Amino acid sequence: MYTYNENKMKMSALSEKILLSKAKIVWKTLVVLALSVLLFAPTPALALDYNGTLQTYISNTKIEIDGVLTSIKKLPSQSYENGKTTLAEIDRNLQTIQTNAGKNAQNFQKLSDRAQKEYEQVLAQLNQQDTSGRLSVSANQETNLPSLTNNLNMPVIISISATGKWNYGSGSFSTLVNANGTPSSIYQSAMRFPNIMPAALATVKNNTLVGFGIQQRFTLLSNETVSFINNDAPGNYGDNSGSQSINYSISIFSRINEKDYFFSKEGNKLTIESYEKTRNLESQKQRLANGIVLTNKISKLSDDLEKRVNLAKQKSGNVKEYADALQSFNDSDIISEIAELDRLVANLTNNLTLGS
């Protein structure tokens, strides 16, 4: 058991350490306690209302800390036995804050990782905007064909032109020709589309031919897709060579102008998109970016709080030593220590709303 003077020297040194601590970081860190519910939400990171949830739980956090302060303020008026019970409750609450801070440091990092993943997905969609103005169709492609999809809520008329040379086989079929195909042969009836030339560029919608040749024009309704393929016999594409480059444009377009849509491209699959989607994606990207910054900050602050809450626990421990030595919570010296504990805990909630 420390002597009275030793206790006083110890408490003075501890008070000096407290004054040197970064209290501002501590109170800002408590914001993480308010947001911990987010970590267990099954919704995507994008759907989380960071600011709204933050403000709601900031209020709850203040109430919890105010409860601790109320308990501290009761100590000087309580008997020794009742004061010990109250102090034990204060210790438990401080331990809970420290434990939650440790969990939050890990969990908010996971939330940040989730937001980062969704951010990268949104960014990938934004980066799919096509600037080349063309698709490439290889002569030997029979599956996973290049395609064009209309994702607008209205029909469009598409014009395409093809350049390039390809064939539809080896040996006598190896002559390279343009997208109009080669003159008919005795094998034309075996072609995928026997009513057009072999090696013609075929445009297909729902397994039905809608266009062929170098120059084409066809209609795409909303959510419809066309694909492009060399007209050869099914199952005989392996020995073909060459390719066609397709340039495309919207030649007739109702109730919308060229500034309101764009072509997005993923691999060799092209989609006509509304710029409204781009604006939404940009908004999502910014929100996720803000969420990543917030959650990273909270994770670091939580880690800091887990360590710094020890100061409050040490102060509470010293109050207990004084109480045990004096068998009282209303002696003038212990009242001074209780006041320091009160001030330390109160600093955790100063300007808490600014932490958001």
Report pTM.
0.48
Tens digit of each residue's pLDDT, the chain (356 residues):
445 455 445 445 444 444 334 333 343 444 444 344 344 344 555 555 555 555 555 666 677 778 888 888 999 999 999 999 999 998 888 787 777 766 666 766 776 677 777 777 666 655 656 555 679 999 999 999 999 999 888 888 899 999 999 999 998 899 999 999 998 778 899 999 999 999 999 999 999 999 999 999 999 999 999 999 999 999 999 999 999 999 988 765 555 555 567 777 888 898 887 766 555 666 666 777 766 766 666 666 666 666 666 777 888 888 989 889 999 998 888 898 888 888 877 776 554 444 44
Task: Check residue 281 and give its pLDDT.
Answer: 61
Alpha helices in the chain, H assignment, sequence order: 4-20, 23-29, 31-35, 50-74, 80-126, 275-326, 332-346
According to DSSP, residue 285 is labeled: H
Task: Check residue 55 and give its pLDDT.
Answer: 59
CATH ID of 153-255, from 3.30.420.40, 3.30.9.10, 2.60.120.430, 3.30.160.60: 2.60.120.430
Task: Check residue 305 and give its pLDDT.
Answer: 60
Task: Check residue 250 and give its pLDDT.
Answer: 77
Task: Check residue 333 and give its pLDDT.
Answer: 84
Pairing outcome for strands 242-253 and 156-166: antiparallel
Task: Check residue 264 and give its pLDDT.
Answer: 79
> Where do the structural domains in the chain lie, given as residue ranges?
4-126+282-355, 153-255
Task: Check residue 185 and give its pLDDT.
Answer: 76
Instruction: Kindly write down the DSSP assignment for every residue of 27-96, as one continuous string.
Output: HHHTHHHHHGGGGG--S-GGG--HHHHHHHHHHHHHHHHHHHHHHHHHGGGS-HHHHHHHHHHHHHHHHH
Are the beta carbons of 331 and 105 closer than 8 angstroms?
no
- Terminal CA-CA length for the chain: 44
